[in-house]
Each structure stands twice: as C-alpha cells, then as structure tokens.
Amino acid sequence: MLYERTNPIGLDLIIHKAQKKIYAALTKKWDKDLDAYPRCYVLEDESEKRTVEHYISKNEYSGNLIVSESDKFFFTAEDDQERVNNIQFETKVKLYFILDLKFIYPDEPGRCDSKVLADVVNAVDRSGGFTSEYTIVTDYQSVFDSFFYEFDNIQPYYCFRIDLNTIPYSIDSIC
C-alpha cells in the first residue's frame, strides 16, 4: 500500500516523488505489494526508546515501523537542511527497507539478498531527487542504530538502509 503525504512541498515533495517511483518499480518487478511510507518521524517515549513512526493525522501515529510485519520501506530526514544558495537547500535522507526474502522471491533456492538489493538500487537510481553518491548499510544492528526494535528472529527478513543526499531543492517547491 502506498501511504502518501497530502500536498507535499520542499523536501517532502522530493521524497514523495521518489517514494512513488520506487514503489511502482518494485511492485512491478516483484509482482508483490509493499507498504511504502513517505517521510516518517523519530519519536522518543518517556523511557528514551526511539521509534520511527508514520504520521497518520491529528497527532496520531502508526506505531513503530521497525517490526518484522509486512514488507515495507520508509524515509527519515533528521539532518539539518542546509542552504546552498538564495533559493535552494540540500540535506541527507535515510531510506529503510524491511523485506521478507521468501515473500519476494519464493522460488529462489538460496538467500537472495544480493538480488533484492540490486532491484532496490536500480529503483532508487531511477527515482530522481537524490545524488548518485550514497551509502548502503547492511549490518542490521547498524541499520537501525539508535532505534528501538524487537526481532525475535531476523530470518528471512532482509533489513538495510540507504543513506541518500538530496539534489538542491526549493524549500517551498510545490510542483
């Protein structure tokens, strides 16, 4: 399911366009539906547990997205937005994936994480809005670094993060 932000502008518009293109490419390639979230928010509870959650509406959030339920991807953008000239900004965006490999390639005899990663990289490269220089983080403890998560058993899930740099964008761009 594609969860879209209403009337995105600026950074949210860059993410919105990439989210739609990545979703379309991967659901077509895999012939499977994914949960595709826009920019999500880092929340901290009273015990200082940090979670990533999708804003639904009226101060209502989805609950922690870092769980091994459903195949999904989501974005966060916690870094500063730096001004590069009079009208443009740039920042870093993190794109997270939690995917059940057996769901995506059920007939594959071995663990197909490299195949899935290649599919994702191709989709991200065609999504626009980001530079071609980025980092892929695959060690699952590093992927979610400071966030709270509980996986009873990570297998057959493949969790990874892509650290992206935006191309310069207008902070109030609506088209």
pLDDT digits (tens, 9 = 90+) for 47-88: 878 888 889 888 888 888 887 678 999 999 988 888 999 889
29 vs 59, residue with greater confidence:
29
Average pLDDT over residues 83-112: 90
Please write the tens of the pLDDT for every residue from 137-173: 998 778 888 887 776 556 678 889 999 999 998 988 7
pLDDT surpassing 90 at residue 111: no
pLDDT surpassing 90 at residue 22: yes
pTM score, two decimals?
0.91
Residue type, 5: R
pLDDT surpassing 90 at residue 19: yes
Domain 11-170 architecture: 2-Layer Sandwich (3.30)
- Residue 146: which of 40, 38, 47, 48 has the closest Cα? 48
For the chain, give the DSSP string.
-B---SS--THHHHHHHHHHHHHHHHHHHHTS--EEEEEEEEEE-TT--EEEE-EEETTEE---S-SSSS-EEEEE--S--EE-SSSEEE-EEEEEEEEEHHHHSTT-SS--HHHHHHHHHHHHHTT-SB-S--EEE--HHHHTTTS----S--TTEEEEEEEEEBPPEETT---
Distance CA 117, CA 97 (A): 10
Residue ranges covered by each domain of the chain: 11-170
172 neighbors 10 (Cβ within 8 angstroms): yes
Q: What percent of the chain has pLDDT over 70?
A: 95
Distance CA 55, CA 61 (A): 5
Averaged pLDDT score across all residues of the chain: 88
Cα–Cα distances in angstroms (integers) from residue 147 to residues 3, 46, 73, 101, 137, in the given order? 22, 14, 16, 23, 15
pLDDT surpassing 70 at residue 17: yes
What is the model's pLDDT at position 152? 56
Q: Which two tokens stand for residue 105?
A: 């390639």
